Structure 1
């Protein structure tokens, strides 16, 4: 019988003597909160880890400087401060809670440099942190005033997540908080914690997992114990914390699992599943690597236990290693992920994954995690170097309101995890070959030069991504398929699988696919072949299933990234068609049509070969969409209105793609 435990991972942290850490000495909190007695072993850190911690801390300070520049007084009370408009929803509360939590981290921990941040620590507390906290306390449902939209924040689907940030960070600096802030924060946290404790964790596998929601709701229960250890609800908060944590990443097979977690078989704790049996999960209607990383929300609560000298529940690691194993197969050299089913968030989220990797390096004991974290950190530093004000992301690279502020908070947690770890395994192994995930309906093949993926679930998508810093290929959700549009219609015909076969061995896979564009309109017979040597073959034959009038055929799509300022791109693509070069500046909207080329070469790094002439189009993007600029290369393009008879072959192509 398998047993999960943090004992081995954390034993050294709990038993070593506390060093003399100088300005890093941690306060012994007032009796009304959980004592914060764990010191950061700066003197015990290995040289490389100390160096990385310093780099992370510098990045936090720079990001704080940028965010401090966006702070302003509340129009209704100039003694209170915030980053955003004053409104009660997620996009106006979460940025503020994440920012002030990160500022509290800087106030308490690390070798603070006021020249980087822009103001001394005492001023940071008195003129920034306290006015922000008082705004958030005042406008919560337990406070005395609404936000400027006439409603207070709180009691919302995500408000426990927002509240845990300020609650945890207030615990870090408790001795320096005035009485009104202490009372207000404890009230906010207890209210949100009781709301979660009095509800049951939801479960859903298809389309919209509840894994992330359960993980973020668990956090408030941990923080409530930190702030109110003598509360009559403490035992319920603790037991419900464990329940919400283990509920987050259960899979159907866990209903029969005999593994013992926190003293009970998993089967006895099973309330429903949120992930597939192959440890993939769906959110936003796709198998989504980003949401597979949300184990970090609950796993970060290990810090609460380490820093208060308590044993963390074993549930925090349940199924996490297997989920993370999938993420390692999706990882790219630039610190990001390959997206077999597409990416509906921003693509350049490379810094976001530093936190999950670092938590797996420090608390998960994963030998690959450190090297993956370093790739994310390198990308973060290159991104931050572009902005004199310290911002990690350029405005064109994100559209989610909390993108910049979440990084301040998550980097703070990662720094604490790194500084408190006494040993980290750094023994990475390259992931090569085929990984097939049948529940998620994804297969991928990692080779030296390319990563091939195919998805046949909610999204039908095939792609060959360059295995290099410049991935070249964008996760366009119509990659490998494209579209067909009928005359007098604005939208393309829906593509549906009629028949499919996916076969593989250890180092290659083959897909035979019959698609119908529209309801019995056009049949696409498609083959994809992923080869061990990195070659990617694509073959398509279109046949009219009935007499039909077509306005546009744009198939064999390959999305080509061409972003103006991305750190691993040049701001233009050089496209050679049978040796004739075309320069395509980012967001230029340039169109290149060609009906005779047999060879396509992009930046001397991505080549496409055909035995017969292709009727192709390269369409440059005019602007970023979903925070990335994607040019579109169609291996077969015909924009003229035509009619086709039933049974008539419309087009065929057969190409080989090679990443150099």
Structure 2
């Protein structure tokens, strides 16, 4: 297996040079300056400008750059890089020019993020900067650091909606203060910078136990530095108000930037920089597929496989450096292959030209930002692998690491065992979400409304979390609860936000290391017009990462379906059992005897927004039971769907043996797998029930006395 090197990254940065000029423009206020994207003073444009500066600085200083094979010569690359840096400094509050919107930027909670992310680029071209450039840079760094010192509080808190969950911003603000203190020892407030940097770092990856921790930093115990905890006891993160694996990664990425900055400049990194780093890295590994794609069990509110995914690169490099982690290098290799796939699909050197074209047409501001993150993150690998000897991939790729993990706050359960990854999360990005896929098939993973039905209104619906209970046992878990479909932006004058359906769901991961059983029932609570009612809801991505083709097989059905047909193209399956790519099986247990492969006209995986126009992110097919996409008016008490199904992360040519009973409020499913028989019972009624169990039944989890909404799982 070939080693990863700086050139592994350069090979992706070089084609990007052909696309870059379409994003560049001269400053309207100073033609000597160049900016990237819209060039505005808002934080995304300023960050993007810094991102591209850094990528060009790394590329332009690469020792083995072949000018003749590039669309831009080395001198042009470096000149453009310096013009972008000068634009950033000139349009800052310490400069003398205006950004494209006629304003200057700086002095707010996120204003230093771009400066942190570009720091390695400054190191790369430091020798090429004029004395004036260095003075401008120093003035900007000290100005931002003084503002953080005097005006920005150190806060932390678990709940994302509180506004105090600040792991990443505490880390990047601490990084700014630390770097300013180290680079400019003559700064008047140097000692105060270091003091507050410590407070920021210790309140980055902060944990509930920190409130009583006696470990000392700068002669003061952690408990005295402690402003609050950003992570739950089991190291989940509620950033943006859901279980956000992506921002665990982004938080670590900012630590990586400071770690390598200190290492390159010869500074001794303060020990508080690494507070809880190893614990959070270990949980991050659990949330990663073997090929490097993030296992975002709580979903994502933004464009798939872009922003947070890109910032895993500096995290992997840091783990390879600090811990000698060869799995991290394997993740690195796998994701580089995915980025190459994305770039080749775009066809013009850009990274998201085709897949995110809808975003480009609707919101260039956002699109330009996304396109800047990819080359920036590639530049970390190109630069740090140039500068340092880092761990390489193992000779044999790591197997799926077994683990069982749960988190009370998010109602989350995860089981990785043998060849499958199975999870359920109630407090997810776009409502409750589940996953059951082979560990080797990250291309089959999607979380937007996955593994449950949907009731989509004509306006802006949202599935909101209600009560839930989860229980783990050896080899699996049981997770049950309810959510409410809510109309978040009703149009009628005087009409308030309201819940229109109650959706109960029971999810059981069996001890067979491959199967999930899901039982669900949705009942209308308020008269409502719905555009779509679909039960079961197994999302199957069908986009560039799987070559935009999926094979679906069942008795009397065998079709290879391309992604994104451009029109609604649903396929009726004359069976209750369907095999996907000979890797995943879906079986309807009750509620329907036939399945449908629902194929929408446009990519259904979207960025979460309060209203349209919707920004498409990924195309996915959906395996459904009940499937109605006609406008309909439903009255209170109507049962929208009532079904049960099994998902098996393995080839299952024939359906497993099962038997289902649906009389009254109880739902009973007997299911056989690997010579073991299981019984899952759910109480979807409003009264407590004590159902009979088979003779010799062994209860795996749950109580024989089932309260409303509760479930039990036993083997017999």
What interval of TM-score do these two structures reach, taking the shorter chain for normalisation? 0.7 to 0.9
Q: Which residue number in structure 1 is paired with residue 405 of structure 2?
A: 435
Alignment of 1:346 with 2:303, yes or no, is yes
**What is aligned with 1:569?**
546
Q: Which one of the candidate residues 433, 437, 450 is aligned to 1:461?
A: 433
Alignment of 1:124-273 (within 5 A): 124-125=77-78, 127-165=79-117, 169-198=121-150, 199-207=152-160, 209-261=165-217, 264-273=220-229
For each residue in 1:451-483, what CA deviation from the matched residue of structure 2 results, as whole angstroms up to 9, or x when unmatched?
A: 11111235322221332245324211x222323
Q: Distance in 2 between matches of 1:617 and 1:152?
A: 54
Alignment of 1:511-660 (within 5 A): 511-514=479-482, 524-540=503-519, 542=521, 553-563=533-543, 566=544, 568-588=545-565, 589-592=567-570, 594=572, 597-610=575-588, 613-614=592-593, 616-624=595-603, 625-626=606-607, 627-638=617-628, 641=632, 651-659=641-649, 660=651
Alpha-carbon separation, structure 1, partners of 2:138 and 2:205: 29
Residue 382 (structure 1) aligned to one of 337, 341, 346: 341
Alpha-carbon distance in 2 for matches of 1:142, 1:529: 58
1:448 maps to which of 386, 400, 418: 418
Separation in 2, partners of 1:596, 1:642 = 28
Match of 2:24 in 1: 71
The counterpart of 2:67, out of the listed 114, 138, 148, is 114
Alpha-carbon deviation of 1:97? 1.0
How does the TM-score come out when normalised to structure 1?
0.82
Separation (CA, whole Å) in 1 of partners of 2:301 and 2:140:
33
**1:312-355 CA distance string (max 9 Å, x none):** 01112111222222221121134212222221122223544222
Shift of 1:634: 2.1
Aligned residue pairs, count: 604
Instruction: Indicate conservation of the 8 Å contact 2:569/2:601, yes or no.
Output: no
Deviations 1:76-128 (Å, cap 9, x if unpaired)?
Answer: 43221112223211232211111112222234454233235444434433x31
Q: Which residue of 1 aligns with 2:451?
A: 480
Identify the residue that residue 660 of structure 2 maps to in structure 1: none
Asked if the contact 2:86–2:133 (Cα under 8 Å) also holds between the matched residues in 1, the reply is yes
What is residue 710 of structure 2 aligned with on the other side? Answer: none
Counterparts in 2 of 1:170 and 1:348: CA distance versus 1, 3 Å: closer
Distance apart, 1:485 and its partner CA: 5.8
Q: Out of 55, 58, 67, which is 1:105 matched to?
A: 58
Task: Quote how far apart the aligned CAs of 1:561 are.
Answer: 0.7
Deviations 1:561-606 (A, max 9, x none): 112xx2x312133333533234432222334364852112223322
Aligned equivalents of 1:358, 1:550: Cα separation in 2: 51
1:266–1:63 distance in 2 versus 1, CA, 3 Å = farther
Q: Does the 8 A contact of 1:497 with 1:515 survive in 2?
A: yes
Query: Counterparts of 1:323 and 1:296 in 2: how far apart (Å)?
Result: 12
Match of 2:285 among 308, 323, 328: 328
- Greater Cα shift, 103-112 or 306-315: 103-112
Superposition RMSD in Å: 3.2
Classify 1:243/1:61 alpha carbon distance in 2 versus 1 (closer, same or farther; 3 Å): farther
Which runs of no fewer than 5 residues in structure 1 stay unpaired?
A: 1-46
Per the TM alignment, residue 556 of structure 1 is displaced from its structure 2 partner at its CA by 1.8
Which residue pairs with 1:52 in the alignment?
A: 5
> 1-side partners of 2:97 and 2:200: how far apart?
31
2:554–2:575 CA contact under 8 A, matched in 1: yes
Which of 350, 362, 380 aligns to 2:321? It is 362
Going from structure 1 to structure 2, the CA distance change for 1:414 and 1:202 (only over 3 Å counts) comes to farther
- Aligned residue for 2:134, secondary structure, equals helix
Change over 3 Å in CA distance of 1:99–1:516 after alignment to 2: closer
CA distance in 2, matches of 1:327, 1:291: 10
Counterpart position of 2:687: none
Identify the match of residue 502 of structure 1 among 450, 464, 470.
470
How far did 1:447 drift?
A: 3.2
Q: Which residue of 2 aligns with 1:284?
A: 240
Q: How does 1:307-326 map to 2 (within 5 A)?
A: 307-326=264-283
1:394 Cα shift?
Answer: 3.5
Identify the structure with bigger relative contact order (alpha carbons < 8 Å, sequence gap 6+). Answer: 1
Q: Contact 2:342–2:352 at 8 Å: present in 1 too? A: yes
Question: 2-side partners of 1:168 and 1:227: how far apart?
Answer: 13
CA distance in 1, matches of 2:419, 2:433: 20
TM-score (norm 2): 0.76
In 2, the alpha carbon distance for the partners of 1:603 and 1:122 equals 49
Instruction: Return the alpha-carbon distance in structure 2 between the equivalents of residues 86 and 183 of structure 1.
Output: 23
Counterpart in the other structure of 1:19: none
Q: In the TM superposition, what whole-angstrom CA distance separates every residue of 1:210-256 from its partner, at most 9, and x where no partner exists? A: 11111222232233235423222222222322222222111222111
